[in-house]
Structure 1
Amino acid sequence: MALVGGCSLAGEISDARRIDASPLRVSGVVDRVVQVKGGTHVRVSYQAAGRRFVTEDLPVGQRAQATDPAVGTTVCLEASAEHPGTVRLCGQRYPGGDDMIPTEGLVVLAGAAGALMAAGWIVAVTRQERRERERSLRDAPY
């Protein structure tokens, strides 16, 4: 779980840096709207760098707009000029919002620390059992 969260977080940071390094404003049209826990995901079609792109599950947070966009609505997008498939809504921090990164980072860190502690405990118990087995074999009368 921690590994998945860490990879997701790393991907979000990488995408945000791509967009921030060379932002390109484009218009898109909402194709689909799906309500999910914590917000809404929308699919948006747009053109950038002479090609057509479609986002899948573009997150729309509460701060992005006063109301969620409806199907057929035109929305402003920020894409990476060098990687036009990387996109977010204009004015929105990349997907979960940059203020989520410290929280997600702490969760990932706590998960990794817990996994390391569990692994250390397993190694310690296994070594102790091996020592006791060796001691009992050594002390056994022949």
Structure 2
Amino acid sequence: MPKNFAERIALMNAMYRLPASSEPVVPDDASERLQKFKAILTEEINEIDEIVELAKNRGSAVDIAVALADLLGDITVYCRSEALKYGLPLEEVLDIIMDSNESKLDADGKPIYDTNGKFLKGPNYWKPEDKIKNLLQVRMQK
């Protein structure tokens, strides 16, 4: 019995005969695969419109929450499965991204927001790409 989400995704990929890699890899058909992945995510994201309509029509709070949870769960499963196909250590990448997000605070350690509530970059902000690149380069050299 798998113990965590990543193990369950690995079992799912095996069960459905989907690619999986233990090390970062970019296959020759990456362009085609990415187009298919985009199509799948687009279908999922379009379900937001149904949830918006449910909210506009004063659907019950639990029905809206269930629809949203299902949407976010499906997107997370697709993304984690895709990361496994490319051998990307997604949990480690997410840690780097979260560290970068935490670096957006202002000089006093307080969040900065724009008018839409998006986090803005503070003076100590650093982009995550360099650390992600280093992580993947190390993994690809093994």
Same fold by TM-score greater than 0.5: no
Greater helix share, structure number: 2
Greater strand share, structure number: 1
**TM-score normalised according to structure 2 size:** 0.24
- Structure ID, larger Rg: 1
**TM-score normalised according to structure 1 size:** 0.24
